[in-house]
A and B are shown apart, each in its own frame.
Chain A
């Protein structure tokens, strides 16, 4: 089933904050060997607690890390091209064109002093050789496609004149302008209410069903990831600790961290106890060697002090990084 090359293949991605002249003089690994792949027509959910490195993964792929953070190792292959170390000019041609991104807070992603139309038009003009009139027509059509009512009038509105849901639709319209191969969505529905969130999730599904586009959907909400994704990757302290088809990951988690996340979710019969994972995720500078989840893990063994190897699934659709995986670890 993996006859064709995946659209996006990330291997051993290491993103670091270089050493500073300060308290700590060692580089810190924001991402410590992140690997996953994503094919066209698929949605990969990337979940994990705050600070686990989800956004860092997205920005590493886009080449938009805030300096001094930088990609220090590994490879990011997109449609057969290596993105790590690609010159800025080349990356810029891909951004907003072949790879589009949607951010968390629609209040913040649109420039408050420019009209909606100006911001869509400039994105059209960044990648297409068309005149202003044609760009404006495309802008209007793009708004219509994502269900913005009265698209013509909205073009002349400023972001503060639109509701949060409409603003996020505008951001999605911008992302879809050039029919990208890959959409990276960094918690795009977190700031929206449940109905609008459901609508947007439906639309994203519809989009992917065309079979051309792949979506990397970042969220810390496992239930959103479950509704939407084909596969889910779980991040912890800068690494992917488990990846599996969505249904399986939720019904039979292999990594103790995934199991812990599930147990802390309000699922199952009403009134069943929620058990939060004991302890806190490590800080960037306080990550333990070996398995970073070890201090919080009930099944931790002395051997966990060494880096646990990645055990791939037989079907190639994920794997787990744990020496003592849960009941399904042997699959």
Chain B
């Protein structure tokens, strides 16, 4: 198992490196086509000499292929360049915003997984109950409403009309391990609720339906019946025998959803003015701040790789047959 795990790790790292390489080429070419950052950086009243000086200071006077090679050479030494706008190391800028995005994504996932698995178990075990039917109908709504619209409705409903919850920023944070966290203060938690609920809704519906479908399938299996025939408590039959059997697809979806939450947090972060990576990315695209865009994408790819690795380890812990069947199932 350890051997195949190490091999898997090497393969996965090689894949990640290829993805990063391809992605950087696309960003360089794409931004080159989109416009010249010098136009944005240079004050309108500047003359040609000033323009050339600024372009040269960022290396933007070089041909694109040379800019790219220079970037790769520096990147290999861990330097992803300096932001054109903030004049700070781009990677540091992104990493500084990372905790906010991670906090929001994790809060959304915990909410979605907790409620989704709980309600899904209920709906699966009591499929004919009125509450179960209501839950399932609700999940269809949750899947079909567009996220940004739900976000706006949450803001209008809970902040503007009712005034119960704040809708902008992270609120008060507490520094732990050198970074600020919102969820540790009452004010920060209040700020976290609406954006997290917004992000969680779709995932909640997805996990709920997946859990219910799994339960419906598994309750009729002999080993679940045998578990009941052995006189085990319902909590153990459900919490151990049923849940373990359906957890692999749920873990897969949670992993994928975590990645997509981080990647698409821009929308929610923009609506709720959440100072995370997504908002930084949106701002950077507006001003063609290439180093920050690249650093952001590198961070996201690395995050995806880490999440996949974690999911693969979980598969092996959840089902002892996975490790023996050869390569993992992670995508």
Contact = CB atoms under 8 A, between A and B. Distances in A.
B227 interface: yes
A93 interface: yes
Interface in B272-331: 318-321
Interface residues of A, number: 31
Contacts of B230: 95-96, 100, 122-123, 126, 174
Interface string B216-231: 0000111101111111
Interface in A149-207: 158, 160, 171, 174
A97 B228 CA distance: 12
Contact of A108 (B221, B244, B318, B321): B221
A105 B318 CA distance: 23
Contacts of B233: 92, 126
Contacts of B228: 64, 95
Which of B128, B222, B231, B236 gathers the greatest number of chain A CB atoms within 10 Å? B231
Nearest to A127: B231
A187 to B, nearest CB: 12
A109 B227 CA distance: 8
Interface string A96-127: 11001101110011111110000000110011
B220 A66 contact: yes
Contacts of B222: 103-105, 108-109
A62 interface: yes
Interface residues of B, number: 23
Nearest to B319: A113
B319 A111 contact: no
Contacts of B229: 62, 64, 95-96, 100-101, 103
Given A112-B321, A113-B244, A158-B320, A96 B223 contact: no
Nearest to A104: B222
A160 B321 contact: yes
B231 A158 contact: no
Interface in B209-252: 220-223, 225-233, 236, 240-241, 244-245
Nearest to B245: A113
Interface string A111-151: 11110000000110011000000000000000000000000
Nearest to B127: A67
A160 B236 CA distance: 22
Given A96-B231, A96-B232, A126-B233, A112 B225 contact: no
A100 B231 CA distance: 9
A126 B231 contact: yes
A94 interface: yes
Given A113-B245, A113-B319, A103 B226 contact: yes
A111 B244 CA distance: 10
B227 A111 contact: yes
A110 to B, nearest CB: 6
Interface in B153-193: none
B226 A101 contact: yes
A158 B321 contact: yes
Contacts of A100: 229-230
Given A101-B226, A111-B227, A113-B245, 10 more contacts: A95-B230, A97-B231, A103-B222, A110-B223, A111-B241, A113-B319, A114-B244, A122-B232, A122-B240, A126-B232
Interface of A: 62, 64, 66-68, 92-97, 100-101, 103-105, 108-114, 122-123, 126-127, 158, 160, 171, 174
Interface of B: 128, 220-223, 225-233, 236, 240-241, 244-245, 318-321
8 contacts: A64-B228, A67-B128, A92-B231, A92-B233, A108-B222, A122-B230, A126-B230, A158-B321
